[in-house]
Structure 1
Amino acid sequence: MRRVDGDTAVSTTHLNLADIQGNVVRAYGRFGFPCARYYFLRVDPQQSADGRALVDRVRRRITTAVRWREGPNETAPGAVEPPDSTLNIAFTFYGLLALGLPTSVLARMPPEFIEGMPGRTYILGDEGDNAPEHWDPIWRTNAEKRIGSGQTAADGELGHVHIWLSINARSMEQMEAAHETLMADIAAHPGLRLLPGHGADGADYQAASAIFAPGPDDTLVPTGKEHFGFTDGIGDPVFDGRYEPDVQARRVKGRGRLTPATEQQPDQQWVPLATGEFLLGHADESQELPPTAPPWEFTRNGTFMVFRKLHQNVKTFHDYTAEQAALFGRLWGLEAEAALATLKAKLVGRWSDGIPLIAAPTYDDWRRLQSQWRDVPAIGLKPRTERTPAEQARKDAFDDLLANFTFGDDKDGIKCPYGAHLRRVNTRDMLDPELHGDNPEARTGSSLNKRRRILRRGLPYGHADPDNPSDDGEHGVIFIALCASLSRQFEFLQQQWIQYGLDFNTGNDTCPLVGNHRLDDRRPATKHVIAADPAGDAPPFIAANLPNFVTTRGGDYFFLPGINALRMIAQGSVDPT
């Protein structure tokens, strides 16, 4: 429940944080845990007791959402010291089946979760370069078992990946300590198998890490960059109960939803999204409880997770943007550096440091804003505990600049192109049916966007040399999304807004950054149109024949249970009656 007092959205939702896994409320990489490893296990269906025993063994160490004495909620009552490393767990549908959960429970799980990602390739755009035959061995095997052989559950191999475990750590030393403990847990249960096949070297786990940069005293500190050079992970949604009220009031701007305009309150306000958009057992934006499998306690405080490994073709991105920038610069009268930076920003919707095009539409605007905030990058490289109050206030104000904006003042896509990645993945007020009307009081705010939000987790993986870019090798982004409905949230966004263009008046053009531009040789590659200011002399620019900058390397859908549900799984007490 929420109410709005003046300009402040006040939370009245009190979550049982000890029953929620911690990665639901925290993107660990932004909380001082830049190193990650993801492990995938298979449970021998004939030894399901071993699988449940592992769940029982690790559930006591699972990191919960209880407030930490570090980060935005550090002054919350009952806050605890953060750990040296985190541990979280999730299951595929066939993992739950292998653990012995009743079919009467599993049959009530959402159909898209039951089918899994390999069964949804036609929706996700996983064709052509993204097709399962190009995935990593672990996921390629998984896809073959799920969609390619006509096997039945009696084969004992269906649903190859069963359990996902993740560790995030402050340092590699702490990572190794947590790794050794987890390996001992797995080794103690012979009915479990740690699955290899991640990347070309077939590693036993998928490693990921923030990209580091030189900080104070020549130390290396984590950044929010990905391999194309852009700051990522800025607009993570704020839902009711995620933050303490004072923190929520600050962070909700640009990260929640816009209220409809009314005669009494013509100025639209940012309020948190309903908890049920991300956590099962809570009311969502339709004021309903999302459908769940019985018993009620099994799904409450759980959520669904998308794990998706995305390879970045770094050389292709650099070569294509350099080639197009030469044409773009001549057409718009821009110097080489300005043309390249502007073209990339028009593809993404933000400049490389995260400043949105809405706030700085031109290269000169961006440079002026950079000069105003030139102290912030150095502040951001400092650990939060070492920042002065004044420095933290500057950092918070800059974060507000990055997130707190709408598209209402850019109805024609002159500042930020209609098809830009940013406009597609979070449409804000762009699809308000009254946005182009003459009556601002009739605007509905985020009414067509508030049911499509996802929580972004995950980190970059691998190394890409910016001075010698390559498409080969292991580098990209581990994309992790959390949501209450895989179909209504993640799949809708991926299909309707990433792979299609009709909602953005761009026809069949896919997202210029992460869309699948080449499904097969018979269909031409898509394009990206950069609109020009009608008051100027430059014509629109068409970035044609887009190559695939990002390709899928595998993944699946998982259920991330609450802590009480983990106890039920471990004890074999998931009774639907």
Structure 2
Amino acid sequence: MTDAGPLDLDDIQAGALHERPSPYVGTYVLLRIDDRQGGRDFVRRVIPLLSPARSVAASTPAAWLTVAFTYQGLKALGVPQQSLDSFSPEFRQGMAARAALLGDVGESAPENWDEPLGGGDVHIALAVLAPDRAGLDQVADQARRAQHELPGIAVIWRQDCYQLPTGRTSFGFKDGIGQPAVAGVTAPLPHPAEPPISAGEFILGYPDETGVPAPMPAPDVLGRNGTYIVFRKLHTRVAAYRRYLREKAADRREEALLGAKMVGRWPSGAPLAVAPERDDPELGKDPERNNDFRYGDDPRGFRCPAGAHARRANPRDALDHENTVDVRLHRMIRRGTSYGPILPDGVLDDDGADRGIIFVFAGAHLDRQFEFVKTQWLNDGIFIGAPGESDPLVGPRTGTGTFTVPRRPVRRRLPDVPPFVITRGGEYCFAPGLRGLRWLADLTT
């Protein structure tokens, strides 16, 4: 095994590793670089606003900022071609070019994305997050001043976001529970269902679960302590989801159960693997128990269907008997953020508002983390023995699909599942360490 030493927490951007406060408010801002020197000056100005991972581990800041670049953004800054060629092919191609592979087709195809997402004009992505509006406004204003009056730096997109005190998404389910513990960073819970994942799975320059570091962009100062970022705007059809459950259920209890079967958890966050019959809010809010379970003792999915969203995204030990997939090689740090107004409880008609989730992933392997999970586990049903079924919530559908609920004596197959989540755009980005950012600011090419 290659030993790269302990994580350099003074160089890693805090947003790549640490949990966000709960609840929080935030904003994502995308910029275009029209002047190379202006872009470098902006990077130089924004560096003092960034929090290193060590400072966030010691205390929660009033707010923090994360900065990342697309391939076109690094190119616009004048990064030498030899360095650009050292980045992963997925990053170089960009998300829009890989849309068909990812299942972004039909309504989710790039030609239907919100401009400027996927169009090549996105160069810099900023994320500003804070526990409250005052902290957010303070850091966002500092970021605006860093960009102010610089030639050739344009703000081209902004999306405000938030997390409710309940931690629930627009579909009404608590999110962000199944995050992996990162070795050397995250203190494991007293009864972890999963040992900490090697830090090199998420931060470049350190051994990953294979025992060696992931391929790292050159030069070393740019690649080390950086991470790849997946950014996706996902519109959620909440009214259609509610209507579907209402139509397929005999009563409200069955309606709630069908929703939980699709998600793999109850609205409170309680896992079906532990609470298969009814919601358990106390379990859902207990971090020592709501992620401490496995699926290996439920191979046929009577408690939690194999096709449920949470089980697809992280099968845990359900694939151990096959000895073909090491689930630890496909774990991701996910940051799901809500945007748009929440549809009031009980409303079954679409009000026309744009609401959904900003999905962010951080990791060292775009291909075997995000793209593998999206294409092999969420979009395809082969690994669960149902080739024709995709994820009931986020799976790609140009028409309708099916979802199977195992039960005795006869399984129930739900037909005509419409698309509930539509991709509105996305980008592949790279978030360098602080030394890498200084290298970018000092470029002279």
Measured against the shorter chain, the TM-score band is: over 0.9
Classify the secondary structure of the residue corresponding to 1:15.
coil
How far off its partner does 1:33 sit? Answer: 5.9
Q: For residues 33 and 63 of structure 1, do their structure 2 counterparts lie closer, same or farther at Cα, with a shift above 3 Å needed?
A: farther
Structure 1 match to 2:330: 452
Q: CA RMSD in A?
A: 2.1
**Deviation of 1:239 (Å):** 1.6
* More divergent stretch after superposition (457-466 vs 102-111): 457-466
Tell me: CA distance 1:483–1:272, structure 2 relative to 1, closer, same or farther (3 Å). same
SS at match of 2:137: helix
Give the whole-Å Cα distance in 2 for the aligned partners of 1:471 and 1:278.
Answer: 39
Query: Per-residue displacement from partner, 1:209-258 (whole Å, max 9, x unpaired)?
Result: 112xxxxxxxxxx2210011101110111121112xxx32537x13x3xx
- Quick one: which of 108, 121, 128 aligns to 2:99? 121
Paired residue for 2:67, among 89, 110, 133?
89
2:428 corresponds, among 551, 557, 560, to: 557
User: CA 1:33–1:186 in structure 2 vs 1: closer, same or farther (change >3 Å)?
Assistant: farther
Indicate the SS of the match to 1:250: coil
**Aligned residue number for residue 173 of structure 2:** 230
Q: Indicate if the aligned counterparts of 1:13 and 1:240 stay in contact, CA closer than 8 A.
A: no
Please give the secondary structure, in 1, of the residue aligned with 2:54. Answer: coil
Q: 2:385 aligns with which of 487, 493, 505?
A: 505
Q: How does 1:217-366 map to 2 (within 5 A)?
A: 222-243=165-186, 247-250=187-190, 253-254=192-193, 256=194, 271-326=195-250, 336-363=251-278, 366=279
Letter of the 2:82 partner, please give it.
S
Q: Which moved more, 1:101-110 or 1:170-179?
A: 170-179
Partner of 1:58: 46
Question: How far does the alpha carbon of each residue in 1:3-46 deviate from its partner, in whole angstroms, 9 at most, with x for none?
Answer: xxxxxxxxx96321110111122231xx24611111111001xx
Instruction: Tell me the CA shift for residue 67 of structure 1.
Output: 4.5
Deviations along 1:327-357, one digit per CA (max 9) or x if unpaired, are xxxxxxxxx2220111101111111111111
8 Å CA contact 2:23–2:167 kept in 1: the answer is no
Cα deviation digits, residues 287-311 of structure 1 (max 9, x gap): 1111122212211111000000000
TM-score, normalising length: structure 2: 0.95
CA distance in 1, matches of 2:16, 2:64: 13
Inter-partner Cα distance in structure 2 for 1:573 and 1:250: 51
1:401 deviates by 1.7
Is the 8 Å Cα contact of residues 117 and 557 (structure 1) preserved in structure 2?
yes
- Superposition pairs for residues 472-551 of structure 1, below 5 Å? 472-518=352-398, 525-534=400-409, 539-551=410-422
| DSSP-derived class of the 2:185 partner | coil
User: Shift of the alpha carbon at 1:488?
Assistant: 1.1
Q: In structure 2, what residue type is equivalent to 1:361?
A: P
Aligned partner of 1:428 in structure 2 is 316
C-alpha deviation, 1:105, in angstroms: 0.4
- Structure 2 unaligned spans of 5+: none
- Going from structure 1 to structure 2, the CA distance change for 1:275 and 1:418 (only over 3 Å counts) comes to same
Structure 1 residue runs without a partner (length 5+): 3-11, 74-78, 144-158, 197-204, 212-221, 257-270, 327-335, 378-394, 435-443, 519-523
Alignment match, 1:569: 440
Query: If you compute each CA radius of gyration, which structure gives the higher value, 1 or 2?
Result: 1
CA deviations over 1:88-134 (Å, ceiling 9, x no partner): 10000010000010001001111110010000011111101211222
Letter of the 1:433 counterpart: H
Report if aligned partners of 1:426, 1:453 keep a CA contact under 8 Å in 2.
Answer: yes
Choose 338-347 or 462-471, whichever is displaced more. Answer: 462-471
Query: Partner of 2:86: helix, strand, or coil?
Result: coil
Tell me whether 1:413 sits opposite 2:301 in the alignment: yes
Shift of 1:465: 2.3
Deviation at 1:471, TM superposition (A): 5.9
Q: Secondary structure at the match of 1:276?
A: helix
Q: Which residue of 2 aligns with 1:134?
A: 112
Native 8 Å contact 2:42 2:150 kept in 1: yes
Deviation string 1:449-499 (CA, Å, 9 cap, x unpaired) is 111111011410011222335262121000000110111110011111111
How far residue 135 of structure 1 moved from its aligned partner, in angstroms, is 1.4
Q: How far apart, CA to CA, are the structure 1 residues paired with 2:135 and 2:144? A: 14
Judging changes above 3 Å, is the alpha-carbon distance between structure 1 residues 530 and 343 closer, same or farther for their aligned structure 2 residues? same
Partner residue, 1:207:
160
SS at match of 2:359: strand
Residue of structure 1 in register with 2:31 after alignment:
41
Assess if the C-alpha contact under 8 Å between 2:129 and 2:136 holds in 1.
yes
* 2:329 paired with 1:403: no
Q: 3-state DSSP class of the match of 1:90?
A: strand
Q: What's the counterpart of residue 466 of structure 1?
A: 344
1:183 pairs, out of 128, 132, 144, with 144
The answer to whether the 8 Å contact 2:238/2:343 transfers is no
1:556 to 1:249, Cα distance in 2 relative to 1, 3 A: same
Mapped to 2, the partners of 1:405 and 1:510 lie a distance apart of 24
Contact 1:312 1:471 in 2 (8 A): no
Residue aligning to 1:105: 83
Asked if structure 2 preserves the Cα contact closer than 8 Å seen for 1:312 and 1:476, the reply is yes
Q: SS at 2:18's partner residue?
A: coil
* 1:510-551 Cα deviation digits (max 9, x unpaired): 000111122xxxxx52100101134xxxx3211111101111
Q: How many angstroms apart in 1 are the aligned matches of 2:299 and 2:343?
A: 38
Which residue of 1 is the match for residue 123 of structure 2? 162
Structure 1 length-normalised TM? 0.73
Structure 1 residue 447: Cα displacement: 5.4
User: CA separation in 1, counterparts of 2:183 and 2:17?
Assistant: 11
Deviation at 1:162, TM superposition (A): 0.1
Decide whether the 8 Å contact of 2:15 with 2:65 is kept in 1.
Answer: no
- Closer/same/farther in 2, CA of residues 508 and 232 from structure 1, 3 Å limit: same
Following TM superposition, the consecutive aligned residue runs of length 4 or more in structure 1 with deviations greater than 3 angstroms are none
Distance change >3 Å, CA 471–CA 26, structure 1 → 2: farther
Partner in structure 2 of residue 146 of structure 1: none
